[in-house]
Amino acid sequence: MAVHRIVANIAANAVPEVRKFYSDLFGLETIMDLGWIVTLTSRENALTQISILSEGGSGAPVPDLSIEVDDVDEVHRRAREMGCEFVHDLTDEPWGVRRFFIYDPTGKILNVLSHVGQT
């Protein structure tokens, strides 16, 4: 048996607003839009992963989603320009990631990260 895909589902009353947030911040493309559901993609191949956490590390809360990007500093700049509320500011963590946490429009906590040396 093989897992082909794991999809993060985000409940939202304002689907277009949340779509715009993720598209603007991460450059994601809409691949399906039925009005009540919109699916976004990066068109990159990604590993299927599930993380199980008791804490978020460095005193941060457990995030709802972790999104690894190739340039965390650029996404951090965009998040500031968009007026995002930061939960955990941009930090180089001792386990080798550079990351920050923000809230999305639905209140989900996003852990946005790059591995050190990849920014």
CATH of the domain at 87: 3.10.180.10
Q: Is it the case that residue 19 has pLDDT exceeding 90?
A: yes
pLDDT digits (tens, 9 = 90+) for 35-70: 999 999 999 988 889 999 999 999 999 999 999 999
Q: Which domain holds residue 71?
A: 15-44+60-115
* 100 is a domain residue: yes
This prediction has a pTM of 0.94
* 91 is a domain residue: yes
Which H or E run contains 109?
A: strand 109-115
* 96 is a domain residue: yes
* 52 is a domain residue: no
Report the distance separating Cα 73 and Cα 77, nearest Å.
Answer: 6
* 22 is a domain residue: yes
Q: Is it the case that residue 119 has pLDDT exceeding 80?
A: no
Number of domains in the chain: 1
pLDDT digits (tens, 9 = 90+) for 92-116: 999 999 999 999 999 999 999 999 9
* 111 is a domain residue: yes
State the pLDDT at residue 47.
Answer: 87
* 81 is a domain residue: yes
Tell me the average pLDDT of the chain. Answer: 95
* 5 is a domain residue: no
